[in-house]
Amino acid sequence: MSEFAFFRFKSNNMLTVEEEQNKEEVIKLTEKVLEAKGIECDSRISKISEKQLREILEEVRKLRRKRKRFATDNSSSSSIAEEDFTRNEEGHQEVSYIR
C-alpha cells in the first residue's frame, strides 16, 4: 500500500533525491501516516488528490526530521558521556557542579 503511495510521490516529482535513496524508510513512515489517516488500500491512494498526497508527504517528512533529531541527540549525548568517561580514565579531575 505505502509502496504505491511512494510511487505516486515519485511520479509527481515530490521527492528529493535523498528521499528517493531512502525508499524503505519513506515507505515505512508513509505506512504509519496512511494508517493514522485511515487510508488502507491502493484504490484509495490512487484517488487521493495531489494536495492530499502533498499533505501525506509533509507528515512523512516531519516524522523523518523527528527521527533524525532523536538519533542526533542520542549520538551526541553518547559521545559526550564517552568523552567524560575517557577523561576520568586518563586521571583528569571531575568537574563538580555548583547548585
Query: What residue segments make up the domains of the chain, in order of their start?
Result: 2-89
Q: pLDDT of 52-89, one tens digit each? A: 999 999 999 999 999 888 887 776 655 555 554 444 44
Cβ-proximal residues to 65 (8 Å cutoff; 6+ apart), any chain: none
pLDDT at 99 over 80: no
Question: pTM value?
Answer: 0.66
Cα–Cα nearest to 35, from 67, 10, 68, 5: 5
* The pLDDT of residue 92: 44
* Contact status, residue 29 vs residue 60, Cβ threshold 8 Å: yes
Q: How far apart are CA 97 and CA 99, in angstroms?
A: 6
For residue 22, the 8-state DSSP code is T
pLDDT at 29 over 60: yes
* The pLDDT of residue 68: 86
Range with lowest mean pLDDT among 14-28, 31-45, 76-90: 76-90
Confidence band (pLDDT; 50, 70, 90) for 96?
Answer: very low
